[in-house]
Amino acid sequence: MQAHDGMYIDGEWRRAAGQGRIEVVNPADERPIGSVPAGNAEDVDTAVRAARAAFRGWAETPPAERAARIGALTARLGARREEIARTVTAELGAPLTFSGKVHTGMPTSVAASYARLLETYEFTEKVGNSVVHHEPVGVVGAITPWNYPLHQIVAKVVPALAAGCTVVLKPAEDTPLVAQLFAEAVHEVGFPAGVFNLVTGLGPVAGQALAEHEGVDLVSFTGSTAVGKLIAAAAARSVKRVALELGGKSANVILPDADLGRAVNVGIANVMANSGQTCSAWTRMLVDADRYEEAVELARAAAAKYVPGDPAHPDTRLGPLVSAGQRERVRGYIAGGVAQGARLVAGGPEAPEGRERGYFVRPTVFADVTPQMTIAQEEIFGPVVSIMRYENEEHALEIANGTVYGLAGAVWSQDEAAAVAFARRMETGQVDINGGRFNPLAPFGGYKQSGVGRELGSHGLAEFLQTKSLQF
């Protein structure tokens, strides 16, 4: 596994200011696979200064030329897809098949969508006697998480570049190797020096320095709500803009007339994907009282299909969690659910059989979960499903909306109009109707404490633009 000894700043790999290193560990066997520099405030300052110096030239580059660069980057990422997939599996623990289809395929698709969008996007509009110009915000500080390491990089960096902004990226310390592959791809296709910069480091050091830096005009952060609040507070001191994609506790609402078997099976698959480390996962399954026990048995059978295993094996469907800390956090929530009286249908806090080494967790299903329980209110970020009973649709809506989060959700019904009507009353940013497919052009983001702003498509591009009106 290749690792660079420096940071990618101003178009070249440079030695870090400090001597510290961050060790990258394979979560399947707990063995080191590489290391990256632990950047500090000096590294961040150097990167921000490079981005600031490059900003005006990139902002004035015609959109068609920016589109061509992004198109070339997309092609380069596609050419290296197998290497990217192997890297994600090694540092995150996602099953290799999933890494190829989702961790590599999805971000490549998103990058391509921005190259196409620039062909038609209108950066000026006429409003009465005014001309409104949509201009790049400036220097963007992008702080990305470990759960979808390449996708989250692409979802921030590519629209920022498309808008004409320059970027300093601080990736998660658990999964920095794929960020280095992205930086290599940027370099290979010839983006001007300083337009994209990479600083690896710890969140409380490099991440905080980036959020507080007065040379940064916008901070785009994806991660926990708790850290998002700290980022927003740090950004507020210099009144810089923020885009925050935070936690979720999404409801999977199965209305009484739904195809119960399909809704339960897809719902379990949704949570088990990426070992449950998905902010938009439908971790609360809401079922009407009359069919509740049938749904519980279906969920038990569905969860049994997800056997923790070696993520490098092509048949593995459930890999480890990303780190020892994450494993202990999830096991703690499972133990807490049992202690609070939830009925354990599948899984549990013990290590999976034969998987004592590695950060593995049993796929877990709880029944008889009440809205007040911790497992029904807090984001677990693991392969844990809570099945909740409702008496009628108003009760289901009350439960669905009864958390501080509002990121995603699902509704199932044979009557599509009824499903849509229910979805419109959910306090959440994105709802899948009867298993609707992910759309990389649709805006993604949350209500309430799930965040501020939107990613993907034209809405994602608009996050990195500001408006200027000229009156005539």
- Copy the structure tokens of residue 85: 């997939």
CA–CA separation, 284 vs 281, rounded Å?
Answer: 9
Q: What is the 3-state secondary structure (H, E, C) of 101-122?
A: HHHHHHHHHHHHHHHHHCCCCC
- State the pLDDT at residue 104: 97
CA–CA separation, 429 vs 251, rounded Å?
Answer: 12
Cβ neighbours of residue 226 closer than 8 Å, sequence gap 6 or more:
none
- State the pLDDT at residue 18: 84
Do 276 and 196 belong to one domain?
Answer: no
Kind and range of the H or E element at 29?
A: none
CATH number at residue 161: 3.40.605.10
Looking at the domain assignment, is residue 217 inside a domain? yes
Looking at the domain assignment, is residue 239 inside a domain? yes
Alpha helices in 207-291 (DSSP H): 208-212, 225-236, 260-272
Looking at the domain assignment, is residue 444 inside a domain? no
Q: What is the pLDDT of residues 109-139, one digit of tens each?
A: 999 999 999 999 999 999 999 999 999 999 9
> pTM for the full model?
0.96
Do 22 and 123 belong to one domain?
Answer: yes
Looking at the domain assignment, is residue 122 inside a domain? yes
Cβ neighbours of residue 354 closer than 8 Å, sequence gap 6 or more:
none
Looking at the domain assignment, is residue 214 inside a domain? yes
CA–CA separation, 133 vs 466, rounded Å?
Answer: 8
Do 282 and 184 belong to one domain?
Answer: no
Alpha helices in 36-95 (DSSP H): 41-59, 63-79, 81-92
- State the pLDDT at residue 96: 97
Alpha helices in 370-438 (DSSP H): 374-377, 393-400, 416-424
* Contact yes or no for 17/43 (Cβ under 8 A): yes
Do 272 and 220 belong to one domain?
Answer: no
CA 98 to chain centre: 15
Q: What is the pLDDT of residues 157-189, one digit of tens each?
A: 999 999 999 999 999 999 999 999 999 999 999
- Copy the structure tokens of residue 150: 């390449």
| Exposure string for 93-123, b = 16+ CB within 10 A, e = fewer | bbbbbbbbebbbbbbbbbbbbbbebbeebee
Low-confidence ranges of the chain (pLDDT < 50): none
- State the pLDDT at residue 2: 56
* Contact yes or no for 469/132 (Cβ under 8 A): yes
Give the catalytic positions in this structure: 245, 279
- Copy the structure tokens of residue 53: 């110096």
User: How many CB atoms within 10 Å of residue 294?
Assistant: 13
Do 83 and 101 belong to one domain?
Answer: yes
Do 64 and 193 belong to one domain?
Answer: yes
Q: What is the pLDDT of residues 413-432, one digit of tens each?
A: 999 999 999 999 999 999 99
* Contact yes or no for 42/203 (Cβ under 8 A): no
Looking at the domain assignment, is residue 1 inside a domain? no
Kind and range of the H or E element at 133?
A: strand 130-136
Do 240 and 289 belong to one domain?
Answer: no
Looking at the domain assignment, is residue 263 inside a domain? yes
Q: 38: domain range?
A: 6-246+449-471
Do 237 and 259 belong to one domain?
Answer: no
Tokens 């992004």 identify what position?
70
Looking at residue 77, its amino acid is L
Q: What is the pLDDT of residues 317-363, one digit of tens each?
A: 999 999 999 999 999 999 999 999 999 999 999 999 999 899 999 99
Of 242, 253, 199, the residue nearest 431 (C-alpha) = 253
- State the pLDDT at residue 3: 64
- State the pLDDT at residue 5: 83
Kind and range of the H or E element at 144?
A: none
Strand partners, 9: 12
Do 269 and 321 belong to one domain?
Answer: yes
Do 76 and 182 belong to one domain?
Answer: yes
- State the total domains in the chain: 2
Looking at the domain assignment, is residue 283 inside a domain? yes
CA–CA separation, 195 vs 331, rounded Å?
Answer: 42
DSSP code, position 250 = -
CATH number at residue 258: 3.40.309.10
Do 270 and 239 belong to one domain?
Answer: no
Do 54 and 38 belong to one domain?
Answer: yes
DSSP code, position 99 = I
Looking at residue 16, its amino acid is A
